[in-house]
Each structure stands twice: as structure tokens, then as C-alpha cells.
Structure 1
Amino acid sequence: MRRIIVLCIATLLLTFPGTDLVAQNTQKKTPPLFKWVNLPRMMPTGVQHGVFQSPSMKQEVGYCIYLPPSYEMDIDRRYPAVYYLHGGRPGSEAKSIGLANYIHRYMTESKSPDMIYVFVNGGPVSHYNLADRENAMGEDVFVNELIPFIDKTYRTIANRKGRGLEGFSQGGRGTTRIMFKHPDLFCSAAPGGSGYATEKRISEENGRESENLVFAAGDNTWDLARKYAESKEPPLRIMLHVGTEGFNYENNLEYMKFLESLKIPFERIIVEGAPHSAQKIYDKRGLELVNFHAENFRRSGAMASE
């Protein structure tokens, strides 16, 4: 019987010479190589790629920026800016720029007012600080270096009244953490598809996400929300968004209940049938997200009614 089984397997391997049964079961994907500067293969209309010199790392860091249709013509005008935090690990400023196709269409069709969108490189572990790894302080590079550079280089409204924050998946986690840590920097925040179950585990295990990945204690979406809830100042306008077919759907509902228990106000967009995809959510409800920021900028006084 054993000889028959061996002969059958040998026959299969001869019939399909490219088949490696062991390799198929054990081969692991090699993580992509991280770089602080990544040139996009294709650039959506209105998007530019740029770099700045990081003061902390003494090296260039890339970013992509969408400038609205009126930017080059209306040279005395200043614009509010939304910073977009991509999903996935490691970071790349080119990851989410496809969303600019939607944003550009909304603005050229006058469905939303003109705004700047900045697409951020999140660092080796996207949008987190890892002090024990060289050049891995992704959050600090964004908050302390990229934002001041953008305000100095482009005609932004350089205060919280004219700044928004948005992200999806890993970027949703980053958006939630950073909005609660730095409510003095943003008046509008829209985290989407965030992995709040992982963030809860980090909270419960004193910063540990895995054996090889440990963050600073308290640096998670659950503990930071509790801290923000103590004062709720300055007030944030928050829009959580998620698709019903996304794998983070249920834990987003749990996090919404958690925010309600803390009496932190927020709005929500739940997209029926949408998977874990920022693009699919923008297909159906992207205009609402863009105009959520625009309305918050109007309320803050950074944008006049158009």
C-alpha cells in the first residue's frame, strides 16, 4: 500500500513538473522592502511627488500631495489640508494616491470645495513610533516634521482649523491614535476600517502586539480615547467609516459602543456590501467623507461657504 501511495505522488510530480508540494505549504511571502522615498508608477491628475529633509534622520522622506484645480490660478488663496494615512505595512507615500481620482472629480465637478490632500509615508511600521529601531519613528516624522514642512512650502491654513486627518486599516488605527493624542493639530478626523481588536489587545498586554512588536504603553486607540474623554478638549469632529463585508466590521462596531460609553461624540458611515477597501468605500460614499472634512473646516472658520 505504501509503495502504491509513493508511486501516485511520483506520478503527480512528473505530470505537473512545476509542482512543489512542500514549498507550497511552507513558503512565506517576503515583506516588501521599506524606503522613505517611493516614486509612484502612475500619478493621478493633480498629484505631485515631493521630498523633504528629515531633521531627525538626516535623510529625505517622500510624500505625495494633491493640489486642487484652483491652486495654481488663485495664488493669494490658502487652503485647508487633509492628511491621508495609508493602510498596510511598511509605509509608502504612493500607497493611497489612487483616492485622488475621486477627490479630483468631486472638486472639478463642484461637488466639494477645493482642498489639499497630503499622502503620508507611515514609516517602517506604518504610523507608529518604534524607538528601539533605527529611523522608525513614523508618527514623529509625520507630526513633527512633515506637517510643518507642508505648511511652510504650500499655501495651507496652518493651524488646526484648517487641518483634517483620515486613514484606512492600519492608517485608520494611526488616525485614531494621532487624533486623540494631538487634538490641538486637527479639527476633523475620519478613521476607517481600523483594526480595533488588535489595538485592544495592545492595550490589555501593555503595548505588546506580538513577540517582536511592542509599542509604548498607553499608545493605542483604547487608552488614548479614555485619556481624551477626560476633557474632550479641544473638541474633535470624528467620522468612523467601515464596510459591512470588511474583516474589521465587527470590531469597529465594538469600538463605536466604546466611544459612546465614554461620551465621545462621533458620526459614522457604514457601507453596505463594501469589503476591507478604502477604494470600494470611496466608490459608494467617498463624497460624504470629503464633504465631512469640508463642513468641519467651514464650522471652524477656515473655509467660507461656497
Structure 2
Amino acid sequence: MRKAIKHIFQILLAFSSLNTYSSKVDTVSTYSPSMGKSIKAVVITPDSYASDKKYPVVYLLHGYSGNYADWIRRSPSINQYADQYDVIIVCPDGNYSSWYLDSPMKPESKYETYIAKELVSWVDQNYSTLADRSGRAITGLSMGGHGALSLAIKHQDVYSIAGSMSGGVDIRPFPGNWEISQLLGSIEDFPDRWKSHSVVELAQSHAMDSLEIIMTCGSEDFFFGVNNDLHQILLEKKVPHTYISAPGGHTWDFWVYSIGLEMDFIHEKFQERH
């Protein structure tokens, strides 16, 4: 019996060694000139990382009330994906409630400028990256899903692949939630601001043919309806995209499941180009 148990343990140990990943996780301090402050980020480089090789980069955004460390803490598979797909993964800090936009109400909050311009420039200067849109993807969860699609639509010269997991892609149905009114003013006083900062409106007013898009949302999620609305808009505009709905709510279980699907999609699109 002991020999059998030992044999099983040896098999499991051998199997686990085949699935050991050696990606490197750095917590870095970046600087935002527009906000005049240092901002932390997690940068994950694959085991293959070498300065004489250029790597695509996936920017991965956290949700409301989160921070730069959320993904690495809550989804250990993130390390695996860096090695598996030979990419650099960057998890920036978007402040707990920035919605990744440049706020007209709070001039000190310029997270669109930071993520789409300053951070991208910093990463390209400090890591060996494919420093053009064909080598960049951006995705995120909840507030980060809104941010990823919004930034990609408005900065198609920067990103070529965009994703969203349970994204708040229309903020107008939620005027009292998540401190959005502190960033944009009240929806009653500034309806045009709320409209222009909703992804569903950006999707209607911008050409999106240059983007590869993937969206996931759980069927029990409170953002399920607005994600379906965005899906219909993209269908009507004949914008190619992948939309995956599965049972699940606004939970880390669903996001850990979704990031695997999205990383596979992103990898496939990178492979087609490089």
C-alpha cells in the first residue's frame, strides 16, 4: 500500500513539474506627468524574457475598489499565461474609482492619459516590447472592462486588441453608483458627459474595424443587459467580435474563468500578426 501511495505521489510530482511556470513578477513604480505622481503596477515577464527579443504586451485592468495587485492575488493563473503565451502582462493601478477616464470634475484624475499614453510609453522604454499597436492588447474586469474598451476605441493607434469581462459598458443606468458622478458631475446636469463616456455610445460614434474584440459576461451579472446591448450594436454595425455569455455573476470565479478565454483569444490574434 505504501509503495502504491509513493508511486502515485511520484506521478503527481512529475505532472506538476511539467506545469511549473517561471515567469517573473515585478512591482514597479511608474510616473504620471499629467497627474504629477508615482503609480504602482505589476509587470509579469515570461520565463523566456530576453532583451534581444520583442514581446507583445497585455494590459490588464482591475475593477472598482481594486488596485494593481488584484489580478496577481486573485488569479494565480496570470503567471501561467505569461509563460504559456510568451507575453508581458501589465496590471496598472487605476485608482479605486477612476473609471479610467480623464475627469472634467477632478483635474487631478487623468487615468485615460496615464493608461493610454504615459504607462505605455514607460513600459516600452523599460521592457523589450513590440512597441506598436499590433503588439498591444488591453482588457479588464467590471470598471476595468469599461476602461479597456473605452481606451481601445478612443486610442486605436495604441491598441489593436480589446477585451472586457463583466464590463460596465453603459454607465447611464447606474447614476448613483461607484462614485461616477464625482468624476463626471450628475447625470441630470451633464447628460452629454455620461453619454460620451459610455462604451455603447463610443461604439456607435467610432469606426472599430481595426480592433479585435472579445467580451464575456455572466448571465446573472447586473451588467448583463448593457453587455447584450453592446453586442447588438456591434452586430448592427457589422463589427467582428466574440461575445461569450455563461452562467455566473459579478464574481472572481467568473473572471478567473473569463481571463483564460480572453488570453487564448489575444494569443491567437498576436500569433496571426507575429
Q: In structure 2, what is the Cα distance between the partners aligned to 1:79 and 1:100?
A: 22
For the residues of structure 2 that align with 1:209 and 1:162, how far apart are their CA atoms? Answer: 38
* Unpaired segments ≥5 residues, structure 2: 1-21, 176-183
8 Å contact kept, 2:164–2:215: yes
For residue 182 of structure 1, report the CA deviation from its aligned partner. 0.9
Kindly indicate whether residue 267 of structure 2 is the aligned counterpart of residue 291 of structure 1.
no
The TM-score with structure 2 as length reference comes to 0.79
The answer to whether structure 1 residue 183 and structure 2 residue 156 are counterparts is yes
1:199 shift after superposition: 4.4
Measured in 2, the distance between the counterparts of 1:138 and 1:283 equals 25
Corresponding position of 1:15: none
- Aligned partners of 2:34 and 2:113 also within 8 Å: no
Please state how far the C-alpha of 1:261 moved relative to its aligned partner: 1.6
Q: Is the 8 A contact 1:122 1:138 kept in 2?
A: yes
In structure 2, relative to structure 1, the CA distance for the partners of 1:119 and 1:144 (3 Å cut) is same
Q: Distance in 2 between matches of 1:213 and 1:96?
A: 34
Q: What is the rounded CA distance, in whole Å, between the counterparts of 2:174 and 2:64 in structure 1? A: 18
Tell me, what secondary structure is at the counterpart of 2:106? coil
2:253 corresponds to 1:276: no
How far off is 1:141 after superposition?
Answer: 1.2
Q: Is the 8 A contact 1:51 1:60 kept in 2?
A: yes
Corresponding residue for 1:82? 58
Structure 1 contact 198–209 (Cα < 8 Å) conserved: no
Does structure 1 residue 172 correspond to structure 2 residue 150? no
Q: Output the CA distance in 2 between the equivalents of 1:200 and 1:184.
A: 30
The sequence identity of aligned pairs, in percent, is: 26
Query: How many pairs were matched up?
Result: 244
Long gaps (5+) in structure 1 = 1-43, 302-306
Structure-1-length-normalised TM-score: 0.71
- 2:166 alignment partner in structure 1: 193
* Alpha carbons of structure 1 residues 271 and 55: separation in structure 2 relative to 1, 3 Å: same
Does residue 116 in structure 1 map to residue 88 in structure 2? Answer: yes
Moved over 3 A (4+): 199-202, 207-217, 282-286
8 Å contact kept, 1:191–1:241: yes
CA change 1:95–1:83 in 2 (3 A) is same
Partners of 1:133 and 1:251 in 2: how far apart?
Answer: 26
Per-residue Cα deviation, 1:67-89 (whole angstroms, up to 9, x for no partner): 11211xx3321110000111104
Distance 1:280 1:156 in 2: 31
Q: State the match for 1:55 in structure 2.
A: 33
Give 1:244 shift.
Answer: 1.8
* Bigger Rg, structure 1 or 2: 1
How far apart are the structure 2 equivalents of 1:254 and 1:209?
23
- The one-letter amino acid paired with 1:121 is D
RMSD between aligned alpha carbons? 2.7
